[in-house]
Amino acid sequence: MEFRSLFRTAAPVTALLVLIAAAGCDSAGSDDGGTDTGGSGADAARAGSVSKVLEALPAKIPADIKPYYEQKLRWTECDDAPGFDCTTLRVPMDYAEPGGGDLKLAVTRKQAENPGGRLGSLHVNPGGPGASAIEFMQNFAGIGYPEDVRARYDIVAMDPRGVGSSQPVKCLTNAEFEAHTQVDQTPDDEREVEALTASFDRFAQGCAKRAGDLLGHVSTEEAARDMDVFRGVLGDEKLTYVGASYGTMLGATYAGLFPQRAGRLVLDGAMDPSLTSRQLNLDQNAGFTTAFDSFAEDCVQRSDCPLGTGSAEDAGTQLRDFLDRLDSKPVPTGEKRNLGEPLATMGVLMAMYQEDFWPQLRDSLTDAMERKDGSGLLALADMYFEREADGSYGSMMYGFAAVNCIDQPPPFETPADVEKLVPDFEADSPVFGRDFAWAALNCADWPVPATGEANRIEAAGTDPILVVGTTRDPATPYVWAESLAAQLKEGVLLTYEGDGHTAYARGNGCIDDAVGTFLLEGTPPEDGKRCR
């Protein structure tokens, strides 16, 4: 299997949100990481949820922002994507001071294949944060979404500020980032704790040095406001949108800020904006454990399973023992990099995103555990980190950290904070818990202060909003979809009972039909509908 081509074209893989990445933490919540509860319904009763509701912006566009809505786009065929149009959109760097400088955001479109039946523009975002919406649209959504949707809509995408082709945040050289990915994420002593925190600090200071003022203006709320400018310039009265993974946070934030202009929104692989940072991290830790258990249950039924043929719990123990061995004795990969615990862990977690990766994970674990060949797991880790064969890296990991660290205060501020919570993480996940706990420390000394906080999003006054959740989704646990659908005044929950990250356009006819009917006719499925 050629990993790079699969990464470029597979929708579930580009819809990434992983707190354990060496470059980033999960979307953070309240600054104290406490267990406040509030609001009504089961979602608000969960530990770590907050009662504060995101307030809508005034419906009238401010006079000093209006010129951005009145700009004319000059579309030309994209140089590297025949059949797609490209241009740039001008937005203010700071919406509070729109005269203080502009940003140019890259945008693309694929015009409706049936112009006579055109319904408008369908905006797409694959998540991350930090994943390129343009790359996702040109390689997947614009050619791989169901034919009837592509016929009736212009499919459009905008790389959010600081991401992809929109003045991306950059933090380290390729060599520096490569070293960063190999730092031990499960420190065993004070020396290793210092090495990890020093690596996080180098990353953060590199972002400050290379990104400058942009680093303070890459929040989700600002990106949502950019989406409204794009909507207005395209001439659509309301936003029609499909967002996956973190893209659901972006879409839900848009609905909260602009409920009167939120049209047919599909939020697939939903995040829960009401949770504090610690609860988000704990939930995602448990989500990857649920996904691994599903993989393990399948693996142990096979005679060639490298994790044994006992129980899923036994398989988890086998994997944890193997990762611990790599901590002190990495295995060769056929290149200069050896496979140590950090990269091996990322390789395993990468394979949790979709079932299609499970055979490759079994083979890669067999090679690494029995043949001392770590090349397969390394390839999976490289896929996550957007590493090319020449050793260069994409900008996704930088955007990932920059957005998360400004959106919410950090879940942990010191190594001592992490140590106190490690038992809770390990209780949910004996295999990955310690990794997830320590990875959440990277925002602790971020060079710009967080400008956001956890909010419930109710978005009163919108059209129905379709929230899609997958029961064994590793990166966005199903409980988040339940919670978001309950928060939204017009939320409708659609459930896929299965494995993998996100559900739309992954081959399940029940899901695709329900989403398609909603996008084309405006009729959502019955709330609580389940697909298998």
Residues assigned a catalytic role: 245, 473, 501
509: helix, strand or coil: helix
Q: Are 134 and 157 in contact (CB under 8 A)?
A: yes
Q: Are 184 and 342 in contact (CB under 8 A)?
A: yes
Beta carbons within 10 angstroms of residue 235's beta carbon = 8
Phi then psi for 156, rounded to 5 degrees? -130, 155
d(C-alpha 185, C-alpha 436), whole Å: 8
159: helix, strand or coil: coil
Q: Which residues of 370-388 are buried (b: 16+ CB within 10 A; e: fewer)?
A: eeebbbbbbbbbbbbbbbe
d(C-alpha 116, C-alpha 37), whole Å: 50
Phi then psi for 358, rounded to 5 degrees? -60, -45
| Burial class of residue 60 (count of CB atoms within 10 Å of its CB; 0-12, 13-18, 19+) | exposed
Q: Which residues pair with 494 in a beta bridge?
A: 468, 529
Crossing angle for the helix pair 358-370 and 312-328, to the nearest 10 degrees: 50
Give DSSP secondary structure letters for 269-307. S---TTB-HHHHHHHHHHHHHHHHHHHHHHHTTSTT-TT
Give DSSP secondary structure letters for 301-314. TSTT-TT-SS-HHH
Single-letter amino acid, residue 400: F
d(C-alpha 377, C-alpha 345), whole Å: 8
327: helix, strand or coil: helix
Q: Which residues of 425-452 are buried (b: 16+ CB within 10 A; e: fewer)?
A: bbebbebbbbbbbbbbbbbbbbebebbb
8: helix, strand or coil: helix
Nearest Cα neighbor of 160 from 217, 232, 85 is 217
Q: To which residue do tokens 């123990």 refer?
A: 317
DSSP-based helix, strand, coil % in the chain, nearest 5: 45, 15, 40
Which value, in Å, is the radius of gyration of the alpha carbons in the chain? Answer: 22
d(C-alpha 464, C-alpha 483), whole Å: 16
Phi then psi for 241, rounded to 5 degrees? -155, 140
d(C-alpha 181, C-alpha 434), whole Å: 16
> Would you give the distance in Å from CA 228 to the centre of its chain?
21
d(C-alpha 49, C-alpha 29), whole Å: 9
